[in-house]
Structure 1
C-alpha cells in the first residue's frame, strides 16, 4: 500500500507538470504474463491462441479507459501436474484461506519473470494470469487484490466454442482487481461483479476515479516515447 501511495503522489506530480507544460503523456504500461496449467494427465487446459483475444480486449479496454496498455511478457504452459487445490481452486474467502495455508504455492513457484529487474517486486512487476480448470462456485475468475501479483481465470472463458462460458471481459476485470479496483454497481462498468455470457456480459467502462487508481498502481510503468505494445 505504501508503494501505491508513493506511486500515486509521483503520478500526480507528473500530471501537474504535463498540464503546465502542455506535454501529451504517453500511455502507461502494464506487464502481464500468462500461466496455462495442465490437468492430471499433463494435458494443457488451454492454448496461447485461445487466450490472445482476452489479452487483446484487456489492452483495448485499458488503453481507452485508463490510458494504460497491456504488454504481454510471456505465455507459458506448465506441464507439471498441479495439486487439486491449484487445479480447481476455491474463490474469494476460500482462496484467501488457501493462500494463507500455502495451498497456492504451486502458482508462486511458477511466477518467475526472467525479464524482471531487482526492483520489479515493488514497481512495474507483472501481473500473472493463471489459467485453471475450474473455480469453486459460480465464479470464473478471482483475485486477491493488492496482496498478490497473480489472478486466476477458468479455462472455459477462453473457449469460443462454449458460448455460455466464453467471456473476454473476465481477464480484464481480474486485472482491475489486482490493480486495487473494487466491484462497481453499474453493469456497464468493467468492475461490475457479474457477467453472464452470451446475453448479459458486463460492460468495459471505467469511471474517472477508477482510471486514477489504475494509473497510480505500482504495476503500471509510465510510458516512454517509442514504446509499442507487445501481444504474444
Structure 2
C-alpha cells in the first residue's frame, strides 16, 4: 500500500520559463508583499480579538463562535471532465466544520462549491508541493488559481482582505506523494488531490486532509502528536491522523484575519 503524505516531500523542480531574472525577481517581490500584508493583517486581527476578549471579560459578556468562510473550486481534466463531484467533497467540508466547532470554537460557512468551466494548464492541474509550489507561485504558475478565487462568490469580500474566504482547489495530482498543500500566510487558497474524495477507494479517501490544509492556511504549523489534526502524515485507511487541537492552536485560529468574530452579548441573547 502506498503511503500518502501531505506537506512532506517535494518533486524535482521545474525549470523557470522565460529569459532573464525579471520574472523570478518580480514574483519574489510579489510573494514577499503578500506575506508581509498577511502578517500585518493577522497581527492587527489578533490585537483586536485580544482587546474584545478583555472587554467581554470585564463586563461579563459572552461571544458567539467566529465564522470561517470556505469555498471549493473543482478543476476539470484535459477532456473537460470534472475531477470529482460537489457531493464527494461535502463529507470533508462537514468534517472540517465539526473539528473547528468542537476544538476551536469556530463555525465553517461554505460559500460555494463549484466546478471551474475553464480547462486548467498542466501546472495547475498537476501542481507541485511545498517549496516547489512556492517557487511556481513566484514564477506565476499559480495564476490560474488566483484568477478564479473571487469569481461567483457573493459574500462581498475580495480575496486577500480581512474575512476573505479560504479557497480549496481540487487538483488531479500533486507531485511528491503528497495529497494536500498550503502556502500558509501568503495565500488565501490551498490545493487538495481529487483522490481524497473518492469514497470507493479506502486507500486514498481521507476526510482529515481538507481540515489539515485549512489549518495551514490559518497559520498552524505541523504538530508531533499523531492525534493532532496538524500531524504531517495521514495514511488511510489504517493510519489516519487524529482531529484534536491544542489550546494554543485554538488561539491562533480564532485570531486569524480570515475569521469573522462572533457577536458579543448576553448568553440568552446569543442563543
1:80 to 107, 111, 118: 118
Question: 2:248 matched to which residue of 1?
Answer: 209
SS at match of 1:189: coil
CA deviation map 1:12-39 (0-9, x unaligned):
1111122222222100000000000000
Pairing of 1:178-217 with structure 2 (within 5 A): 178-217=217-256
Distance of aligned partners of 1:87 and 1:118 in 2 relative to their CA distance in 1, 3 Å threshold: closer
Question: 2:74 matched to which residue of 1?
Answer: 36
Q: CA RMSD in A?
A: 1.7
> How far off its partner does 1:223 sit?
1.8
User: Number of aligned pairs?
Assistant: 228
Unaligned runs of 5+ in 1: none
Q: Does the 8 Å contact 1:86/1:103 carry over to 2?
A: yes
Distance of aligned partners of 1:12 and 1:119 in 2 relative to their CA distance in 1, 3 Å threshold: farther
TM-score (norm 1): 0.94
CA deviation map 1:84-106 (0-9, x unaligned):
11001000000001000000111
SS at match of 2:231: coil
> Structure 1: how far apart are the matches of 2:128 and 2:248?
30
Question: 2:199 matched to which residue of 1?
Answer: 160
> Structure 1: how far apart are the matches of 2:138 and 2:145?
13
Unaligned runs of 5+ in 2: 1-38
Question: 2:41 matched to which residue of 1?
Answer: 3
| Structure 1 outlier segments of 4+, above 4 Å | 225-228
TM-score (norm 2): 0.81
1:134 to 173, 181, 198: 173
Q: Does the 8 Å contact 2:73/2:169 carry over to 1?
A: yes
Distance of aligned partners of 1:63 and 1:201 in 2 relative to their CA distance in 1, 3 Å threshold: same
Q: Does the 8 Å contact 1:43/1:79 carry over to 2?
A: no
2:189 to 117, 134, 150: 150
Question: 1:48 matched to which residue of 2?
Answer: 86
> How far off its partner does 1:117 sit?
3.2
Q: Whose Rg is larger? A: 2
CA deviation map 1:181-201 (0-9, x unaligned):
000000011100000001111
